[in-house]
Amino acid sequence: MFLILFLIQPYYILSQSKYNKDFYGGLFYLSEFIASPEFSSLKDRSSDIELVDSLYLRSLKFFDNDISEALLCLTFSCLPYNNIKVRFLFNSQLIIPLPSPPQKVFNQKLKNLPNKIFFDSPQNDFGDKDKPSHFFGNAFLNYNIGFFNLSKFMGIFVETVEEGLFIEGGYSNKDLVTNSLGELFAEVLKNNPQILPSEILKIYQIFFFRIYQ
């Protein structure tokens, strides 16, 4: 998923009351929505998996039903990071800023991001806040690349790179499962544009289903 980070310049402009219909307009729109009291209220009466649906529908509406643009923007709007730390020469580190709203908005967005995505999500403040970006990022790749195996390879490749290169990253089987669910979401979207993320994310439980006799 992080492979596409370097395809976009990590600079941003101040948000405006009227959002432009482009990547940064969508980034500010969705980030400020997640940080808003309205979204906080939604959290009080909705499950986190329903919140993921809400974000997807918001993004889709903003981009006039352009699925590709909606998925790309969600990938970055849902990121629980505004920079990545990369191992550099002589045990030093390089900090690379990511497309992100102003710090105040980012802090509130981070607090509000859905974190109980799966039945086994960690019971702490962070939980699975990084999983929506994995899901939407791999959905974007598969929806646009069109080759299921290639997008899967890229997901595995990036996980391996994260483990060796990114200071705060690491190889995660759960990330790989989430990546696969994102790919599946993209495949279904091509034939059924009405499908919602939750309908695919719920499949996660099947991977851990056992029959006891």
Encode pLDDT of 176-190 as tens digits. 889 889 999 999 999
Confidence of residue 207 (pLDDT cuts 50, 70, 90): low
In a domain, 3, yes or no: no
Whether the Cβ atoms of residue 169 and residue 163 lie closer than 8 Å to each other: yes
Q: Identify the residue whose tokens are 């309908």.
A: 199
Tell me the pTM: 0.78
Report pLDDT for 194.
Answer: 95
For residue 87, list its beta bridge partners: 93
Residue 161 has pLDDT above 60, yes or no: no
Q: Where is 158: in which H helix or E strand? A: helix 148-165
Among 1-10, 114-123, 189-198, whose mean pLDDT is lowest? 1-10
In a domain, 194, yes or no: yes
Residue 155 has pLDDT above 80, yes or no: no
Mean pLDDT of all residues belonging to the chain: 79
In a domain, 90, yes or no: yes
How many structural domains compose the chain? Answer: 1
In a domain, 174, yes or no: yes
Report pLDDT for 170.
Answer: 52
Confidence of residue 8 (pLDDT cuts 50, 70, 90): very low
Burial of 153 (C-beta count, 10 Å sphere; 0-12/13-18/19+): exposed
Residue 148 has pLDDT above 80, yes or no: no
In a domain, 12, yes or no: no
Residue 171 has pLDDT above 70, yes or no: no
Q: Tell me: the pLDDT tens digits for 9-63?
A: 333 333 334 788 898 999 999 999 999 999 999 999 999 999 999 999 999 999 9
Between 56 and 87, name the one with better pLDDT.
Answer: 56
Q: Which domain, by its residues, includes 32? A: 17-208
In a domain, 155, yes or no: yes
In a domain, 32, yes or no: yes
Report pLDDT for 81.
Answer: 85
Q: How far apart are CA 16 and CA 14, in angstroms?
A: 7
For residue 84, list its beta bridge partners: 96
Report pLDDT for 144.
Answer: 87
Confidence of residue 87 (pLDDT cuts 50, 70, 90): low
Query: In percent, how much of the chain has pLDDT > 90?
Result: 51
Q: How far apart are CA 106 and CA 97, in angstroms?
A: 13
In a domain, 141, yes or no: yes
